[in-house]
Amino acid sequence: MKMNRRTVKGASLIEVLTVIVVFLVGILAVVQVFPPGLQVLRTNRAQTQAISLARAKVQQVLGQSAQLPERIVAGTFNAAGTVFILSQTDPNSLTPPVDPATNIGEVDASGQVIVAGNPVGHWSKLTGPNKITRIIGEGRPISQPTFVNGIRGSRMQLMFAPIFYLHDAGANRSAGQVLQVYGNDLRRATANLDDQIPDTAAALYDTDVFYFNAGEDATNPAEVPPAFLNQDQIVVGALQDTVAATLIPHAYRVSMSFIFNDGVNQRVVEAIFTAAPGNPYFATQGNYSIISIPELVAAGGFTVAGYRGVEIGSLRVQRIFSEVPSTGTFNQDDPYQFIPWNHAYGTLMLNPAGANYRVSDIDGNSTPLVARVDYSVYDWRIMQDDFSIPRPVAGTFSPNVKLLVNSIKPGSGQSADGTNFGGIGLATDAFMQVPTLAGPLAQQDFVLMDLQTGGFILGNDQGAGSPYFVDKSNGNVQFRDTDTTDGFAITGRIALPNGTFQGFTNSGPVELAGRSVRGMYIPSSELATQVLKASASYNVVYPNAPNQLVAGQCYEGASAGWGQPNRLYFPLIDRGQKVTIGELWLAGPSAPVVRDRDLKISGVEQFAGVSVAYAEIPGGNTFDSSRNGYAVRRVNGASIKVRSFYNPDTFTLGGSTTTNFDNLRRWIERYNTTTTETFDAGGNY
């Protein structure tokens, strides 16, 4: 039968092509949904990991709460080595500094931030979490001593190492105040050298007191070093070396807020000075050291003529621990001594004589000698992962430790600015280099520190002889026994510090299984955890202007002519922190006094271009100082915060410094941050 072609059912080529095009359009539309969706998943996963890292950091901090610092602030140094606290730094501002005269920001092709034509540091150390890095007063009582690499000492490991470290090769010691170790606060008393207070010739005297002598105009010039007449002074009793029958020449840490007039403006400066023997501001009289405050200020880069006075309540003096060279020995008459055992990685060796040494506090009670440390965190992006090296189980694979992050940045990778990464320290920061399995010092993308000795476990290599290697893509550390003939579960070698700058001794084969260690590395995707802490306590002050309010102080609004009468003001650095008010007197008969009230420093107010933070008194109440002469007492910090940062994007450095700055600024604006908060005053030593 012959079929009629016109009755056959089917599709033409044009119809088929049309259907294919329709399907392709639909498929493409569906496919386009996946990349943003995958990006959302990656972002959510990274943010979840950032939150987990923050919680882990909180637990680590609380686990060492006895050693918490007094406060964490922004700080800078001048050429004389004086540290300046930048109390007006906003914790929410993450951008690098700009030229204050032109308000123009610059970053060169190597990543250096340029201010007024001068490089001030690499962008990675001046932006984001690294804008607030100065640790003030981390400390604890000196522990009982142990032997490490042939040296007997009391070991102390800093909480937030690695630290920024500078070494003075000529003097073979730490440079300036970058790392400073000091003791308990000396009690303040009022001096009058005309009346022989203190008696500088007395055979018995209190070495735990400092005397403030205001503008001494001695009727008997022989009682005061002649150069210091009519100048504010600090007088401190020196320790004695009983063997040599001489005074021990200690330096002193002097922190204060002072008023300075530069000929145009009068301002309050908050600074920390080192007052050391042998300088024009330092004199010895009898058994006492006398320090001229105006001369000390001048040595810090100011002028004697511009000095207008010190805020007495802010004046604090501590005896500085002397740095002992590795070739020296501890003096048993001088408990104020230390060796920077592992310099950049924050291990200190303290004089064991300090373990049983006692000092008297402000109430006259006998308390242990405390070692407190000021230093700068090198980089909040460096993770600290503490764990014990596992012991292998017979018949199983080599033990494996999962790090807190899913992947770490390899040395062969790139930094966020497109330059070579190299390792956790900048190539220009040689102090961050550590011993390698092959022997020489080098940058490392993963550092494993032995917490018992402060040394480095040699490895991070897949070659023979390495007891561990790191799977950087998955964040795993795998351990293996390199010598099955010695009976050790995991044989390895430790580069033990010997007290010299970047000097190490190979331990030889030792057992690694069971050792407490700290892994340090930088995660991929610019993850970081930053610790912020309110001051342990705040002095209530009455400054004439907002720019005179500095870290560790607060002000009752309207009590000195500025501010609102229902706001307690703080420097901007305290924005977002919580404080506890021990006693708060309010206007009105209904609730005249409130005790032990927590307040959040949540607001910001501007006065003539100066921004200050504030906590608002609840219920619309205002201060009332008419009953007691004060409205606020016992203000203490109550919060510790950990901020986590995440930024998966990148930017490029080129030849234009202003374009580089703009690229960096836009990259910083893409930071994702979350905050985890806990409460523990701490830092009370």
On whether both 293 and 357 belong to a single domain, the answer is no
Residue 626 has pLDDT above 50, yes or no: yes
On whether both 352 and 449 belong to a single domain, the answer is no
On whether both 511 and 407 belong to a single domain, the answer is yes
| Residues 27-45: tens digit of each pLDDT | 776 666 556 554 555 566 6
Q: Is residue 576 part of a domain?
A: yes
pLDDT-derived band at 469, boundaries 50, 70, 90 = very high
Question: In the chain, what is the straight-line distance between the N-terminal and C-terminal CA atoms, in Å?
Answer: 109
Of 281, 282, 278, nearest to 302 by C-alpha is: 281
pTM: 0.87
Q: Is residue 193 part of a domain?
A: yes
Residue 154 near residue 394 (C-beta atoms within 8 A): no
Alpha-carbon torsion (504, 507, 510, 514), positive or negative = negative
On whether both 363 and 387 belong to a single domain, the answer is no
On whether both 314 and 328 belong to a single domain, the answer is no
> Considering the chain, what percentage of its residues have pLDDT values greater than 90?
57
Domain containing residue 582: 535-638
Q: Is residue 96 part of a domain?
A: yes
On whether both 193 and 144 belong to a single domain, the answer is no
Q: Is residue 8 part of a domain?
A: no
Residue 586 has pLDDT above 60, yes or no: yes
Please give the pLDDT value at position 244: 78
Q: Is residue 414 part of a domain?
A: yes
Of 513, 252, 541, 237, nearest to 387 by C-alpha is: 513
Of 327, 340, 366, 371, nearest to 353 by C-alpha is: 371
Tracing tokens 């016109």 back to the chain, one arrives at 6
CA gap 163, 375 in Å, rounded: 7
Please give the pLDDT value at position 446: 97
Please give the pLDDT value at position 476: 95
On whether both 468 and 394 belong to a single domain, the answer is yes
Per DSSP, the residues of 167-180 read EETTTTEE-TTSSE
CA gap 461, 284 in Å, rounded: 56
Tally of structural domains, the chain: 4
On whether both 179 and 328 belong to a single domain, the answer is yes
Q: Is residue 459 part of a domain?
A: yes
Q: Is residue 10 part of a domain?
A: no
Token couple for 660? 């580089």
Q: Is residue 281 part of a domain?
A: yes
Residue 345 has pLDDT above 70, yes or no: yes
On whether both 275 and 314 belong to a single domain, the answer is yes
Which of 526, 550, 579 is where one domain is finished? Answer: 526
CA gap 242, 93 in Å, rounded: 53
What is the average pLDDT score of the chain? 88
On whether both 389 and 363 belong to a single domain, the answer is no
Q: Decide the pairing of beta strands 209-213 and 187-190.
A: parallel
Of 368, 323, 396, 380, nearest to 173 by C-alpha is: 323
Residue 314 has pLDDT above 60, yes or no: yes
Please give the pLDDT value at position 168: 85
Residue type, 174: S
pLDDT-derived band at 521, boundaries 50, 70, 90 = very high
Residue 604 near residue 572 (C-beta atoms within 8 A): yes
Please give the pLDDT value at position 48: 79
On whether both 194 and 307 belong to a single domain, the answer is yes
On whether both 474 and 391 belong to a single domain, the answer is yes
pLDDT-derived band at 11, boundaries 50, 70, 90 = low
